[in-house]
Amino acid sequence: MTAVRSAPGVELQWHLRLSARTLLYLLLAVPYGVAYLVLLPFTLLRGRLLWSLVELERRQANRLLEAHLARIPRAQRPAAFRRALAMLLIKLPVAVVALALGALPVAGTVGLIVLGVEGLGGDADRVVGPWELGPGLGVALCLLALPAAVVTLAAHDGIGRLLRALAQRLLRPETTGEGPVRELLAERLGDRSLNIAYWLPDREIFVDERGRRVHLPRAGSGRAWTAVEHEGNRVAAIVHDAELDATPELVHAAASAAALALDNERLKADLRARLEELRDSRRRIVDAADDARRRLERDLHDGAQQQLVSLALDLRLLRARLKENPEAAATVEELSDKLAAALAELRELARGIHPAVLSDHGLATAIHVLVERSPIPVECDLVLDDRLPAPTEAAAYFVVAEGLTNVIKYANAERATVSLHRHDRDLEVVVGDNGVGGAQIDAGSGLRGLSDRLAALEGELALDSPLGEGTRLIARIPLREEGVG
């Protein structure tokens, strides 16, 4: 990292500003110190008051001394409590001593300037040491005031450093010195709200540590950001409190020190972003497939199925007119039976594609319809308060449908069970039976398809099927926060 030398005028302004802040801190420290001592008995009785005063002191140290102290959690060990109490106790005596030390060089500098101005004015009635105060001595005193001012600034700088070190020693929260890069940077810069946005050059976007897109703060939002580069390439951006922007060299120094670690974190964030995009893509594929299923089911119901129903009615009318021709009436009756069978198969096909009852009346009603059509007894335990997101309902329905189909075809069971329960943010679907067991997910395409569907929703499918002890098909589906269908 190339060092940049500040212009003399800029450096002088910085020292003047630092000196003024130190003096302001000391002037405020006297009444604050008195208040701390007055309130001290109450702080011992009420711990919350102590931490409120410590937080006030921390903010003053950050604003005037640039201590960059992180917020102190109240759940600190007793050692932190004792340090905080010590800070409040010594605030007043330290401020008085430091104020006296800081006032001496100021008084000396001001005295030299006043005497120099009086000497330039020709005041020969006063004597400075062995010399009479005149224009020549006035010029000398004014010139001498310049190094005195430098000494004053240096003294205030030293006092400020000592006060800052004291505040950091007593008010810094306990830490192990280890942890994620964000936590370490937040502690070093004294900004617990600090966040890191990682740069993905191939897509030209910033993402967070989970791979989700991040928009950098705009001017005037109270937040600022500092770019981090490693080997000439942009790695990340540190998003921090705008007040830290007043000392960008500190942010840049911390960013440079963490550049390599941030580059490693960026690679992880890139991988998570790609995984998130893959999950979104799989969800979109499942949603699109379900939409296509619903449209196809509607087309079959409103199109071919209605035409077949109309044809069945026409055949009934025709059969009624052919009472005098038994042979023709028998043929029409046979055609009606075949048409009824075709209509039943079409309805079964439409239900398999996507049942209309699921979209219209919800998951519980759709599962009860499945149970009623089962040739063996099925015990239901459905705990659902309201509608779920459409992809979740579809996935749960097809788990139950496939589970009951397998029970009827392969389990040789006498009874089955279906249960749906919400556990925190998951929906658990279980289809069980008392059959022969020995089922496997990879044995057929139906369960493999279900597993893929659940994986697209970040869910999982499990099978518990010991030989001779029945089968339990268990699905867990995360409940995404979105509107329900």
pLDDT score, position 1 = 34
- Tell me how far apart the alpha carbons of residues 126 and 353 are, in angstroms, rounded to a whole number: 109
What are the phi and psi torsion angles at 197 (to 5°)? -110, 125
Q: Dihedral sign, CA of 12, 16, 17, 18?
A: positive
pLDDT digit string (tens) for 267-317? Answer: 666 667 666 666 666 666 666 666 656 666 565 656 566 666 677 777 777
> Among candidates 307, 399, 395, which has minimal Cα distance to 346?
307
State the SS3 of 75-122: CCCHHHHHHHHHHHHHHHHHHHHHHHHHHHHHHHHHHHHHHHHHHHCC
pTM: 0.42
**Positions of the chain with pLDDT lower than 70, given as ranges:** 1-12, 14-15, 43-47, 68-77, 122-130, 132-134, 137, 173-181, 183-192, 243-264, 266-271, 273-309, 341-354, 443-445, 480-485
Please answer whether residues 464 and 437 qualify as being in contact, where contact means their C-beta atoms are separated by less than 8 angstroms.
Answer: no
DSSP state of 301: I
pLDDT score, position 361 = 82
Q: Dihedral sign, CA of 217, 221, 223, 226?
A: positive
SS3 294: helix
288 membership: H or E segment, kind and range: helix 259-299
pLDDT score, position 177 = 40
- Tell me how far apart the alpha carbons of residues 424 and 401 are, in angstroms, rounded to a whole number: 24
Please answer whether residues 210 and 198 qualify as being in contact, where contact means their C-beta atoms are separated by less than 8 angstroms.
Answer: no
Round to the nearest angstrom and report the end-to-end CA distance of the chain: 56
Instruction: Estimate to the nearest angstrom the gap between the alpha carbon of 432 and the chain centroid.
Output: 39
SS3 146: helix
